[in-house]
Structure 1
Amino acid sequence: MALAKSVLAMVAALVAGQALAQQSPMPEELAWKLTEIGRVIDPPKTAALYVPMQQKEPYAGVKTERDVKYGPADRHLLDVFMPEANSAARPVLIYIHGGGFVAGNKRGPGSPFFDNVMLWAVRSGFVGVNATYRLAPQSPWPAGTEDIAAVVGWVASEIGARGGDPARIYLMGHSAGAIHVANYVSHPEFHKVKDGGLAGAVMVSGLYELGKAPLGNGEIAYYGTDPSRYAERSALAGLLATKTPLMITAAELDPPPFVEQFELLKQASCKRASGCAHATMLPQHSHMSEVYSINTADGRLTDEILEFVKTGK
């Protein structure tokens, strides 16, 4: 009997997998390659799979403003992507890259990332803002949160002249960028704009409660070595208290801590007076592919973002 149940379970899993493959916009060969890379963070191998799918400059119909200063530090830089044609004021999507607190940039030399996020944003009716920030260990907590606050402040005051609507600012971050977004939303003492200035926050594979698992070297470089400070520097409590609409995402092939923290915030958010966060788990994707796939035929993440923006929940 046990063997029969096991066989039936295997058949059901195979059928479910085949159904997913038939419905998925991800080619089967690509899905297998991501599975082979595994539940690790591997930007070079993952980028190699997605670079051929992305646009190359010049970008038709898109106007760019590069390396705009939003503060005094060398890394206080942002890019603005706008439609070439004049249009009514658009909502704004700010994107904050990852990099484990100690690395990363809004754009690497010769790389389509993260222009891809901006191109999707313009194509989908936004003005896009792609920002970078100071890194640890030279700039530890709360430098990232301060920088996000400065970016939002700059957008609120300057984006109207570039076709954006300062009343509809959406802040999106990935990995360490998602953590910085979470810390900005959850720590209003850093806000430079009334009530944080956001119409919504999108956090893609972030960590929200420090100390649930051992911290990595990058996290220690940013947050410090004193565990007694981790609770006040975590985002979870503030995210449960905020009125800002929240969207959270993780990938099926994320390293386990990201999946665990996604589930933690997903369940906890349903106790908020404002209701559950918009939560989605991306099948087949990995930690890097979820954002490298933006502006390709695979719109599973971006479709959810548009639904979140449309409904506010």
Structure 2
Amino acid sequence: MRAKWALAVVAAVAATGVSAAESPMPADIAKKLAELGRVIDPEATAKLYAPLQPTEPYFGVRIERDLKYGPAARNLLDIFMPQNVTSGRPVLIFVHGGAFIGGNKRRTPESPFYDNIMLWAVKNGFIGVNMTYRLAPQFPWPAGAEDVASAVEWVSKEIAERGGDPQRIYLMGHSAGAMHVASYVSHPEFYKVKNGGVRGAIMVSALYDLTAAPLNDPEKAYFGGDASHYASESSLPGLLKTTLPLMAVSSDLDLQGFVKQLELFKEATCKRPSGCARTVMLPQHNHMSEVYSINTADTRLTDQILEFVKAGK
């Protein structure tokens, strides 16, 4: 039995097509992620990556936490800026995941996640904005997209005095947060700023077509149990119409549903007159490590983000 288990781990690592010698991911982490397999396990994945992340106080970074961008209790955001603020920096707004019913802009007060994304943003010339939002089932669809709209409106008005360029705002979401980003971009009726107020959208592990497969209970808590609404609540039709630059991501060890949705998204966008959207399949990573690894030596995702932003200038 142990031999079969060992062979399964080796096969999982080999399936990524990345050798240990050429991978920026530490070999022990790659092995443990392969052992975990296709699961969403925030705690186990956080234990692997927390030692690679800095802890507060963060050098060279100024932070404003829990700023109100709307009337709800969870309409809060954190802003990360360099100590010596210069004007005109692009802005990265990050929208966390949590299966629509949980999650926060910081996993716990002591956690390095998702401060890690903000620290990377500041190092790479951005002003970082980390937002949270209302949760299902108390606040179903389209509450997440509405909160993204309110955050974009607030940032558009307030970020210049903190060194950000309100004309260069980029949205990035993970999992449920990526779906809120996709819903916002694809449904202009939610916009509170002209043309949506953003220059590009990055969606890491999202579902774009809610009709493509049965929804799980957390998704039903947000989108509802009436499947007749799923076509209108899906983001894919609107994403195919938008002229906004889009980037979609999944990973080798992500749940199959997210991998299939990335393939669906890629195939659909490649039929547009404007051509394919940028899509990224991250080797070796799982659903959580793709974002927990940001601000480490593994820059495979963040290199793509920087290229995406550069292309949109």
Question: TM class by shorter-chain length?
Answer: over 0.9
Shift of 1:218: 0.8
Shift of 1:272: 2.2
Shift of 1:16: 8.5
Change (3 A) 1:227 1:52: same
Shift of 1:214: 1.4
Q: Does 1:193 align with 2:170?
A: no
Please, what TM-score do these two structures have when normalized by structure 2? 0.94
Alignment of 1:223-262 (within 5 A): 223-262=223-262
- Match of residue 7 from structure 2: none
Q: Report the aligned-residue RMSD.
A: 1.7
Q: For the residues of structure 2 that align with 1:15 and 1:294, how far apart are their CA atoms?
A: 23
Q: For the residues of structure 2 that align with 1:305 and 1:171, how far apart are their CA atoms?
A: 11
Alignment of 1:1-313 (within 5 A): 17=17, 20-107=19-106, 108-312=108-312
Shift of 1:22: 1.6
Change (3 A) 1:15 1:263: closer
Q: For the residues of structure 2 that align with 1:145 and 1:49, how far apart are their CA atoms?
A: 32
SS of aligned partner of 2:65: strand
Change (3 A) 1:243 1:133: same
Shift of 1:86: 2.6
Q: For the residues of structure 2 that align with 1:49 and 1:15, how far apart are their CA atoms?
A: 21
Amino acid at match of 2:261: Q
Change (3 A) 1:21 1:158: same
Cα offsets for 1:195-219 (capped at 9, x unmatched): 1111100000100000211111110
Cα offsets for 1:181-239 (capped at 9, x unmatched): 00000000000011111110000010000021111111000000111100000000000
Amino acid at match of 2:142: P
Amino acid at match of 1:80: I
Change (3 A) 1:121 1:15: closer
Name which of structure 1's ranges 27-36 and 98-107 shifts more when overlaid on structure 2: 27-36
Shift of 1:119: 0.1
Cα offsets for 1:46-104 (capped at 9, x unmatched): 00000000010011110000000000000000000000013131000000000000000
Shift of 1:15: 11
Number of equivalenced pairs: 302
Structure 2 segments unaligned to the other structure (5+ residues): 1-9
The answer on whether the counterparts of 2:16 and 2:283 sit within 8 Å (CA) in structure 1 is no
Q: Percent identity?
A: 65
SS of aligned partner of 1:283: strand
Q: For the residues of structure 1 that align with 2:69 and 2:39, how far apart are their CA atoms?
A: 33
- Match of residue 4 from structure 1: none
Cα offsets for 1:120-152 (capped at 9, x unmatched): 000000000000000000000110010000011
Amino acid at match of 2:232: E
Please, what TM-score do these two structures have when normalized by structure 1? 0.94
SS of aligned partner of 1:22: coil
Amino acid at match of 2:38: R
SS of aligned partner of 1:284: strand
Amino acid at match of 2:55: K
